């Protein structure tokens, strides 16, 4: 192999990076297209409400919102009939039962009715978008292109088209994960390893190959993580970089709140670069201040535009304290609710198994409506790799001072994301008023998946530094878990058991 070091010209490195990105994108998109068509219809978390949002946009030409005037049903007649045809609720636990009724999709059944199911526009209308109604429209506007393109086709074709576009966003996330790793280590092998790992990460593949706005928030967050790496390592910042960060942070707020921690850290990092606390605390670095200003400007114009529209156009139902954010803040500070101390005690009593289920189980792979987990032995393998990577990271930061800031950035993003969501979502939205959590899932932490993969890759590569292909350990592990996941999925839903 050609050395990745300084002997390579800039043009050839750029060529290699572009080629690598093409390969990562192709693999990421290919795997997601396969999952998009293999996952039975509606058998992904919250897919019906998200698809309803898309349909509402196209069929009724408006962003869904709660309105007392609306007489249409929650879910369209067309979708409800499709559920019957596709055994939704019988194939999965989404119907509320303790166990799915069907062992797999019936062998002796005529599926033509399911494939051809297509109803007139008046039977596709909905009141709003059920539980997805409050979400910003960025993701849905993008994927609605697939729905519109196949408007005359059966509902399942429209579903697969929307899933395919969602998968496109997921594949792009893998490309930016590549760029993040390459930005930090300036070696193609790390970029390839992290890009490939994200392209094949089982739960990310499954979620982004379904209709779910996680695909957009993870893309925007991964872009932002990459840009933050540039901020960390740049001598001075530019207005262009500030604007890019502002747009990425604004895009997060226009997709889903789970990326907010990354946006917050972006602002904090820019502030720190603009006003560095050194021997002269009042010292201001002008170029960085310009960058901070362009960040603020672009952030406010992107996220702000949506919020202004939301509070003016849908003012009657969503203004003031009726907003989700208003309720969360009220509950957080309300003395009448459950205290944060009670929440900590509640979490402690849930035990290690609860956190393992969220941070490993539903993070790496729990398919369907969280009823098809990876085998326990696979989880142990993942935990072992976490342990080894942690040791590797400790050795790395002790040996190489130049890597400490990079590892610190990744760790801060990861830890802050986890803590913020537990406190802001699980406590503020749930426990503070009800005494129970909101039901945390691993995919809520996907905005910093690229950071985790970088840490795992760097740590494992260091611990196995003597091996020739030490950077390839992580993608091999992820690829192995991907194969296990595919096997599990084929067995559970189709009765096809490989090995």
Residues 348-407 that bind another protein (CB under 8 A): 396, 399-402
**What span, in angstroms and rounded, lies between the C-alpha atoms of 397 and 410?**
13
* Candidate ranges 189-197, 252-260, 299-307, 418-426; the one touching another protein (CB under 8 A): 189-197
- 243 to 262, contacts with another protein by CB under 8 A? none
- Indicate which single residue of 14, 15, 30, 62 sits in contact with another protein (rule: CB under 8 A): 30
From residue 456 to residue 485, what is the string marking binding to another protein with x (rule CB under 8 A)? -----xx--xxxxxxxx-------------
- Indicate which single residue of 8, 17, 80, 105 sits in contact with another protein (rule: CB under 8 A): 105
Nearest to another protein of 154, 267 (CB atom): 154
In angstroms, give the least distance from the CB of 96 to another protein: 5
- 44 to 103, contacts with another protein by CB under 8 A? 86, 90, 96-103
Nearest to another protein of 4, 342 (CB atom): 4
Q: Please say whether the beta carbons of 75 and 42 come within 8 A.
A: no
- Of 359, 96, 447, 43, the closest CA to residue 206 belongs to 43
Cα–Cα separations (whole angstroms), residue 161 to 1, 64, 148, 186: 40, 21, 9, 37
User: Counting contacts by CB under 8 A, is residue 11 touching another protein?
Assistant: no
**Alpha-carbon torsion angle 151, 152, 153, 154, nearest 10:** 90
419 three-state secondary structure: helix
User: Counting contacts by CB under 8 A, is residue 240 touching another protein?
Assistant: no
Task: Supply 136's token pair.
Answer: 């910003």
In angstroms, give the least distance from the CB of 222 to another protein: 19
In angstroms, give the least distance from the CB of 125 to another protein: 24
312-315 long-range Cβ contacts below 8 angstroms, 24+ apart: 313/63, 313/65, 314/65, 314/66
- 161 to 180, contacts with another protein by CB under 8 A? 161, 164
From residue 123 to residue 162, what is the string marking binding to another protein with x (rule CB under 8 A)? ---------------------------x--xx-xx--xx-
Q: Please say whether the beta carbons of 264 and 447 come within 8 A.
A: no
**What span, in angstroms and rounded, lies between the C-alpha atoms of 404 and 399?**
9
Nearest to another protein of 96, 320 (CB atom): 96
Cα–Cα separations (whole angstroms), residue 152 to 64, 157, 247, 475: 22, 10, 35, 41
Q: Where are the beta strands (DSSP E) in 315-378?
A: 366-367, 372-373
Residues 6+ apart with CB under 8 A from 297: 243, 246
Nearest to another protein of 104, 306 (CB atom): 104
Nearest to another protein of 85, 443 (CB atom): 85
Nearest to another protein of 30, 375 (CB atom): 30
């Amino acid at each position: 192999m050609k050395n990745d070091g300084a002997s390579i010209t800039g043009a050839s490195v750029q060529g290699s990076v572009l080629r690598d990105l093409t390969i990562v994108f192709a693999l990421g998109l290919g795997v997601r297209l396969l999952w998009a068509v293999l996952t039975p219809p509606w058998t992904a978390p919250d897919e019906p409400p998200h698809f309803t949002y898309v349909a509402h946009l196209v069929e009724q030409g408006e962003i869904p919102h709660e309105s007392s005037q609306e007489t249409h049903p929650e879910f369209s007649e067309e979708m409800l009939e499709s559920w019957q045809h596709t055994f939704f609720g019988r194939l999965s636990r989404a119907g509320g039962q303790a166990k799915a009724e069907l062992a797999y999709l019936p062998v002796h059944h005529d599926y033509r009715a399911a494939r051809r199911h297509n109803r007139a526009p008046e039977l596709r209308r909905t009141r709003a978008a059920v539980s997805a109604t409050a979400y910003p429209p960025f993701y849905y506007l993008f994927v609605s292109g697939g729905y519109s393109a196949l408007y005359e086709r059966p509902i399942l074709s429209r579903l697969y088209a929307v899933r395919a576009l969602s998968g496109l966003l997921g594949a792009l996330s893998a490309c930016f994960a590549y760029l993040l790793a390459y930005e930090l280590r300036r070696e193609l092998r790390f970029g390839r390893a992290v890009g490939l790992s994200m392209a094949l990460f089982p739960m990310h593949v499954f979620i982004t190959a379904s209709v779910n706005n996680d695909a957009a928030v993870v893309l925007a967050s991964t872009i932002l993580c990459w840009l933050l790496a540039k901020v960390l390592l740049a001598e001075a910042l530019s207005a262009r970089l500030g604007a890019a960060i502002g747009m990425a942070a604004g895009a997060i707020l226009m997709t889903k709140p789970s990326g907010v921690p990354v946006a917050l850290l972006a602002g904090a990092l820019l502030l720190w670069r603009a006003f560095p606390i050194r021997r002269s605390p009042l010292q201001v670095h002008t170029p960085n201040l310009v960058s901070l200003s362009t960040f603020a400007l672009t952030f406010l114009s992107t996220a702000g535009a949506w919020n202004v529209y939301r509070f003016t156009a849908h003012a009657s139902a969503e203004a003031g304290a009726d907003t989700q954010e208003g309720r969360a803040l009220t509950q957080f500070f309300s003395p009448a609710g459950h205290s944060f101390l009670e929440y900590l005690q509640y979490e402690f009593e849930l035990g290690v198994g609860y956190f393992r289920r969220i941070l490993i189980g539903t993070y790496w792979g729990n398919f369907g409506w969280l009823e098809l987990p990876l085998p326990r032995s696979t989880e142990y393998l993942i935990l072992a790799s976490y342990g080894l990577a942690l040791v590797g990271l400790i050795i790395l930061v002790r040996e190489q001072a130049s890597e400490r800031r990079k590892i610190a950035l990744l760790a801060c993003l990861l830890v802050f994301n986890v803590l913020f969501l537990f406190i802001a979502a699980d406590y503020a939205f749930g426990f503070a008023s009800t005494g129970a959590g909101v039901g945390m899932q691993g995919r809520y932490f996907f905005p910093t998946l690229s950071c985790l993969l970088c840490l795992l890759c760097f740590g494992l590569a260091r611990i196995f530094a003597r091996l020739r292909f030490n950077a390839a350990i992580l993608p091999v592990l992820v690829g192995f878990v991907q194969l296990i996941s595919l096997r599990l999925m084929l067995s559970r839903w189709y009765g096809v058991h490989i090995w």
